[in-house]
Amino acid sequence: MPTPPRAPTVEIIRDPLWNNIRVDTVALRLVDTPAFQRLRYVRQLGLAYLVYPGATHTRFEHALGAYHLARTTLALLEERGALDGVATEEPALVRAAALVHDVGHYPFSHALEELGVPHHEEVARPLITGGEVAAILRAELGADAPERVHALVCGRSASPLQGLISGSLDLDKIEYLKRDALMCGVPYGEIDVDRLLNNLVVVADPSTGQPAVGLREKGLSALESLLFARYQMYRNVYWHHAVRSATAMYKRLVEGALAAGVLEPAPLAGYTDEGILHALDVHPGRAGAPRDGGGGVIAEVSRLRAALQGRRLHKRALECPAAEFDEEFGGWIADDRALTRRVEDQLAGELGLATGELLLDYPRKTQMLGLDLPVLRRSGRVERVTAAGWEGAINLPTLAEQLYRSARWLRVLVARPVAIPRDRLLAALHRPAVELGRMLERGATLLG
């Protein structure tokens, strides 16, 4: 009798969120690569551990959790026959994409992306399509597997299963919301995961006619639980005032280090959290330290690093909710870092503070309640549901705007107590970016 094929080896990894995570041979090989192992030393929530002490979990366990959800979801879809029209190699590619989707992350999570450096998904390209990860993917999943996996990670794949990796209810969101809430010790990440996963389907997208991941209508209430959890986590964790202060200090610290030549842009994504802090351990006069060039940048870098590590965070001198501003206000604070830095320096000087002792923070508006996916109605009809809503559903556009206006705040953060002329400062920040730039060029005061 012929010998039956040997079942693939599956290892069990214990996890505080999902309990047992079953990891197959291909995943084990990917986990053992240097690119993936680095994620053990990159915190999932960046500097949030300075506020929530339990938030020391890393991209490593998050990636394993996303892989676990991919395995679980694909098994449910296969059990219901939903994968009958999907190419046989697609599930393995999706599992691999779920596992390696974060290998390009910078130290301290998303903070550096706010400086305008390439997005972590683009940083991941050479890590996925070259080196050891690519060799494993080609050997195990096919010659074009690295490129197909990276396309899934970037949301550019034509795969009918793309929505599991990037979309309104992708597995990444489900995983990080649940894990972040657990590790922070907050009750805001409650998502009906079982109902969501059990109501995923593969249907013909009414917009394109192509097969895509969708949701049964009866799963919409579970999807709403995900959207509200995301809002609650932004309001209470991701955009917490002290988390944003630490993030603003870190961004300014790295900007100064790049300007002074302490750091180079290219290797940034290769650092771990502790590795980049070690590289930033510079101060004027230290042997081998770069010269300050007369601008005091090294001194500023040294002050900010010491303050961050000692949790001496900048305090709120002024804060205003987005509800007080029009839609166009303050876009330059998040999008034009060069101008923001110049405005910070000018305001600091006018208020008697040193450079780096006054920071502006106004988070970039994100798609917090984004919704765009095909829904299988009880009648059997498939409709594409977007944030514009549909009959019987909540008015997401109005709700999203209301939630933004309560979660998103402009903050002026200072290292030392100082009297802030609120009206004059807000008047200055209301000026268009072009006008602010011209005022700075001619040496005009912003608070005059």
Choices 3.30.420.40, 1.10.10.10, 3.40.640.10, 1.10.3210.10: CATH for 10-239 = 1.10.3210.10
Per-residue pLDDT, 294: 45
Which region among 243-247, 350-354, 370-374 has the lowest average model confidence (pLDDT)? 370-374
Per-residue pLDDT, 130: 96
Per-residue pLDDT, 423: 95
Per-residue pLDDT, 144: 97
Mean pLDDT computed over 133-160:
97
pTM, two decimal places: 0.92
Confidence of residue 27 (pLDDT cuts 50, 70, 90): very high
Confidence of residue 5 (pLDDT cuts 50, 70, 90): low
Q: Which long-range contacts (CB under 8 A, 24 or more apart) does 172-178 make?
A: 172/66, 172/98, 172/101, 173/226, 173/230, 174/69, 174/226, 175/62, 175/65, 175/66, 175/69, 176/44, 176/62, 177/226, 177/229, 177/230, 177/233, 178/17, 178/65
Mean pLDDT computed over 9-35:
96
Distances (CA, A) of 392 to 124, 214, 220, 221, 395: 41, 19, 11, 12, 9
CA 82 to chain centroid, in Å, comes to: 30
Mean pLDDT computed over 3-16:
76
Which region among 47-61, 102-116, 308-322, 423-437 has the lowest average model confidence (pLDDT)? 102-116
Per-residue pLDDT, 394: 59
Q: What is the mean pLDDT of the chain?
A: 90
Per-residue pLDDT, 44: 97
Per-residue pLDDT, 343: 97
Domain residue spans of the chain: 10-239, 242-366+406-441
Give the percent of the chain with pLDDT over 90: 73
Q: Closest Cα partner for 404 from 367, 361, 359, 360?
A: 367
Say yes or no to pLDDT of 388 above 70. no
Pair 110, 92: CB distance under 8 Å: no
Cα–Cα distance measured from residue 25 to residue 142, given in angstroms and rounded to the nearest whole number = 15
Say yes or no to pLDDT of 41 above 60. yes
Cα–Cα distance measured from residue 368 to residue 366, given in angstroms and rounded to the nearest whole number = 5
Say yes or no to pLDDT of 322 above 60. yes
Six-digit token string for 401: 């705007």
Residue that wins the pLDDT comparison between 394 and 173: 173
Per-residue pLDDT, 352: 96
Per-residue pLDDT, 403: 75
Mean pLDDT computed over 339-346:
96
pLDDT in tens, 398-415: 666 677 778 889 999 999
Cα–Cα distance measured from residue 61 to residue 42, given in angstroms and rounded to the nearest whole number = 10
Mean pLDDT computed over 62-70:
98
Six-digit token string for 246: 């630490």
Per-residue pLDDT, 199: 96
Q: What is the helix, strand, coil percentage profile of the chain, to 5?
A: 50, 10, 35
Which string of DSSP letters, residue by residue, matches 132-143? HHHHHHHHHH-T
Cα–Cα distance measured from residue 403 to residue 397, given in angstroms and rounded to the nearest whole number = 10
Secondary structure in 3-state letters for 313-379: CCEEEEEEEHHHCCCCCCHHHHHCHHHHHHHHHHHHHHCCCCCCCEEEECCCCCCCCCCEEEEECCC
Confidence of residue 287 (pLDDT cuts 50, 70, 90): very low
Which string of DSSP letters, residue by residue, matches 425-448? HHHHHTS-HHHHHHHHHTT--S--
Mean pLDDT computed over 213-231:
89
Say yes or no to pLDDT of 338 above 90. yes
Confidence of residue 389 (pLDDT cuts 50, 70, 90): low
Per-residue pLDDT, 364: 83
pLDDT in tens, 356-387: 999 999 998 776 667 788 999 999 999 888 76
Q: Closest Cα partner for 293 from 254, 262, 265?
A: 262
Residue that wins the pLDDT comparison between 257 and 402: 257
Six-digit token string for 87: 């190419």
Six-digit token string for 422: 């609120």
Six-digit token string for 66: 């996303």
